[in-house]
Amino acid sequence: MKLEEIKELDSKYGAKTFSRFPVAFTGGKNATLVDEAGKEYIDFGSGIAVNIFGVNDEEWKNAVVSQLNQIQHASNLYYIESQARLSKLLCERAGAKRVFFANSGAEANECAFKTARKYAFQKYGEGRARIISLKDSFHGRTLFTLTATGQDCFHQYFDPFVPEVTSAEASIKAIESAGDGKACAVVIECVQGESGVTALDKEFVKELEAYCKKNDILLICDEVQCGNGRTGKFFAYEHYGIKPDLVTTAKGIAGGLPLGACLFYEKTENVLCPGDHGSTFGGNPVACAGACNIVERLTKEFLLEVTGKAEYLRTKLSKIDGVKRVTGMGLMIGLETDKPPKEVATECLERGLLVLTAHTRVRLLPPLTITKTEMDEGLAILRGVLQK
């Protein structure tokens, strides 16, 4: 189908929830995509940190197709081999005890929040149900996770929100006062993605860990965007030397298939019991087969390569005229530019480069497998757009 036909169908029948760029992709290889008219693009977005091994990765496709050739869905009423294998891989990789699988980041957070509430209820009874997030956070679009999202721009129209969920500035004082003795959990993104790619302060995060431990408040790390190797560690919290009680992830974990995961650690591994939580699709055999392949390949050696690529890209980016500041961590990059980010994204697209925006910044989340040639091609386009 030609772009014009696709656009017409979408604008007539699709919900109006998305303002889309005028392009439809049909294929490509690694970080080079092709649209329906045959035009090529360098991909600095990975479909928002999802295609972390690019597109048409042979090994990943083989893992997925081999599962498809067996059975596509079974239900969590039965045992699922690829899901069981993935649970072990994730626990070993992240030092976790158990995993619950969902289909998205919001659902993974939903599971973590419910777990925190049950943990506190069983231990302290009523009155400790409060979940505290940080200002400028993003945790998803379901009502619970939207309430926890600390950005007012997402909060229009959807009152009333979930009670006992609130946001605080990134300081222990603010968190203590927001909790008021009623908090069961604090949720953080070590690198805040949607609000502009901002890494949290190391000292604050360490203090927060100590504060949470002392008060038996669960620390939840939302690694939906910053996890899965993006910052050069398997999870971004590893840069901070902390031990969270719950970790959530999604986006890149299955290399492009919908999968979310909530990881439980010592305090939380036995909180949820049969009947407490569930999902029809969560931990689907095909998504889990894809994720097993991804997680197996996010080795220490591979993550060192990610760090090297990030250093290369960041150095080059900081030297571009029109880039005022480079933020974030690893291959999760924010750019403060002279030009408004939306304009940058539109001009880049015209010239064959995909970049994202996040609030007031340009956001780059390239596939972790991006080659030096692809980075150089993308940089040349970005230079042209920003220096004009």
Q: Which residues bind ligand PLP (CB under 6 A)?
A: 104-106, 109, 138-140, 189, 193-194, 222, 224-225, 250-251
Strand partners, 30: 55
- What distances in angstroms separate CA 84 from CA 74, 280, 289, 375, one per listed residue? 13, 16, 10, 37
- Closest CB to ligand PLP among 193 and 283? 193
Nearest CB to ligand PLP, comparing residues 42 and 365? 365
CB of 107 vs ligand PLP, minimal distance in Å: 7
| Residue among 257 and 323 whose Cβ is closer to ligand PLP | 257
Residue 222 or residue 245: which is nearer to ligand PLP going by CB?
222
Number of other CB atoms surrounding residue 370 within 10 Å? 22
- H-run or E-run covering 373: helix 372-387
Q: Do β-strands 165-168 and 130-134 pair in parallel, antiparallel, or remain unpaired?
A: parallel
106 or 262, CB closer to ligand PLP?
106
Taking the complex as a whole, how short is the minimal distance between the CB of residue 201 and ligand PLP, in angstroms?
18
Contact 364, 356 (CB under 8 A): yes
Smallest separation (angstroms) from ligand PLP to the CB of 140: 4
Instruction: Classify residue 53 by burial, with Cβ atoms within 10 Å: 0-12, 13-18, 19+.
Output: buried
- Helices 58-68 & 285-297, crossing angle to 10 degrees? 150
According to DSSP, residue 200 is labeled: P
The residue whose two tokens read 């015209």 is 350
Q: How far is the CB of 322 from ligand PLP (least distance, A)?
A: 27
State the minimum distance, in angstroms, from the CB of residue 223 to ligand PLP.
8
Q: Which of 224, 287 has the CB closer to ligand PLP?
A: 224
| Minimum gap (Å) between residue 328 Cβ and ligand PLP | 13
Identify the three-state secondary structure at position 256.
Answer: coil
